[in-house]
Amino acid sequence: MERQHWPARLWLVRHGQSQGNVARDRAQEAGHSVIALDLRDVDVPLSDLGERQADAVGRWFAALPEEQRPEILLSSPYVRARQTAEAICKAGGLAGGAKSTVLDERLREREFGVFDGLTTRGIREKYPEEAAHRAKMGKFYHRAPGGESWADVVLRLRSALNSINLQYEGRRVLVVCHQVVVLCLRYILEELTEAQILDGQIMIIAGSRSVPGAALLAAHGAMRAGAGKLKIATVSSVAPQLAIAMPEAMVLGLAEADDGGFADEAIDELLEVADGPDAIVAGPGLTTNKTGETLAAGLCGLGRSLALDAALLRALGDEHASSAHPPPVLLPHAGEMAALLNCSQEEIEADPLAAGQRAADRYGAVTLMKGVQSHVIAPDGRAWKYHGGGPGLGVSGSGDVLAGIVGGLLAQGTEPLTALLWGVWLHGEAGARLGRRVGPRGYLAREIPGEVPALLSDS
């Protein structure tokens, strides 16, 4: 869409974690109907973690060159958004050291009406007919009594954007608001559909203190392959930086062990938040600590489309994978395949197709045997070979991107075998395009996802 009278740059930032987020998660985990929070929604402040997140965002903006920093800061009037905006100003995140924030009530949180303060369980218990109506209508158009639908939020945001266009043409504008507001602004600006903004949800469980970039690479792969909504679960020490690097994502920072991977107490929460998205990618950049087996087994039992890679392949039990429905997608290289089959890597490399067929049969999984020539094997033994791509795809992080691409396709309802076949082809052809433009070697894994939308369009 050609836009006139538009800001030179527009950033959308969700406020940091709030005390309401914490109370809601605790209520959901405990199976309660009511969220224990004795405050109006407008007055809910940031949590301790939210304050640190807001400070990290401010320091990120402050590190930009002066001519690239925001000049104007608009904020929702809700306390948690204002606190986030104030932290950005305090950190020097605005050009010229500006400290002022423009409050705009049109950027406020969606109004929940009679659902305010209730968990999903509480809504079903107290308002069963309304809950059924919401399930029929879909949350984009459903309006709880006394509340707003997502479509209502879109209407007021169109007005807010018109004001931004008129007042801040050619300026650099930062907007601090709420999750639904960010998504509805994207709906308007990117001309998305209801399905694109609400469906195609993917959860990426990835990254560790020593390999945080794996989560980012997988996330870019997923979004470029068409996933609509993205959550990333990673360890607490890297979550703020990852949230800045991937503003399209909701990033969850969970308890961290001494080795930089997930702590034992993080696993239950991981499995809880993973039981919701349409697809899950898990494993890139994770440490091989003792939590892996519990996590892999739990993910296989959720009934979600699932792609497993890296550390979780070494922790996977065949009894869990073989009982999963839909069948999981496994993405091993030769070393990981050796761990899956409890044999030597030399044995795998001697006959990679046979190894892939053994793994697909043993784990009941759609399996990729990575290599110079990659093999895709279905649980029933059918196999396909891809020999394109080029040597540049051996670059560090390339496999993380592939995992994300496969996950992005799964999130859109693509069945596992088709998602893997398409994912391998898209990943390989993206490498081939970069090889022709950049050179057969020397391009970076982060450049691969950018080729995917055009490939999908051309196909």
360 lies in the same domain as 445: yes
Residue 233 is assigned to a structural domain of this protein: no
Residue 180 is assigned to a structural domain of this protein: yes
Residue 263 is assigned to a structural domain of this protein: no
CATH of the domain at 339: 3.40.1190.20
Count of structural domains within the chain = 2
223 lies in the same domain as 170: no
Residues 6+ apart with CB under 8 A from 273: 203, 231, 233, 252
343, 336, 334, 282: which is closest to 313 by C-alpha? 336
CATH of the domain at 107: 3.40.50.1240
pTM here is 0.62
| Of the residues 189, 206, 235, the one at which a domain ends | 189
Per-residue pLDDT of the chain (459 residues; tens, 9 = 90+): 455 678 999 999 999 989 998 898 788 768 899 999 999 999 999 999 899 989 999 998 999 999 999 999 999 999 999 999 999 999 999 998 877 899 999 999 999 999 999 988 899 899 999 988 887 887 899 999 999 999 999 999 999 999 999 999 999 999 999 989 998 998 899 787 786 676 678 999 999 999 999 999 999 999 999 898 899 999 999 999 999 999 889 999 999 999 999 999 999 889 988 887 889 999 999 998 889 999 999 999 998 899 999 999 999 988 888 888 889 999 999 999 999 999 999 999 999 999 999 999 999 999 999 988 999 999 999 999 998 888 999 999 999 999 999 999 999 878 899 999 999 999 999 999 999 999 999 999 999 999 999 888 776
pLDDT the model gives residue 199: 63
Residue 70 is assigned to a structural domain of this protein: yes
Task: Count Cβ atoms below 10 Å from residue 413 Cβ, excluding itself.
Answer: 12
| Alpha carbon distance 236, 205 (integer Å) | 13
Q: Are 233 and 254 in contact (CB under 8 A)?
A: yes
Phi and psi dihedrals of 2, rounded to 5?
-80, 130
Identify residue 114 by its one-letter amino acid code.
V
326 lies in the same domain as 392: yes
295 lies in the same domain as 434: yes
DSSP state of 449: G
- Domain housing 444: 217-227+274-458
pLDDT the model gives residue 203: 96
32 lies in the same domain as 145: yes
Residue 326 is assigned to a structural domain of this protein: yes
Identify residue 269 by its one-letter amino acid code.
E
pLDDT the model gives residue 3: 57
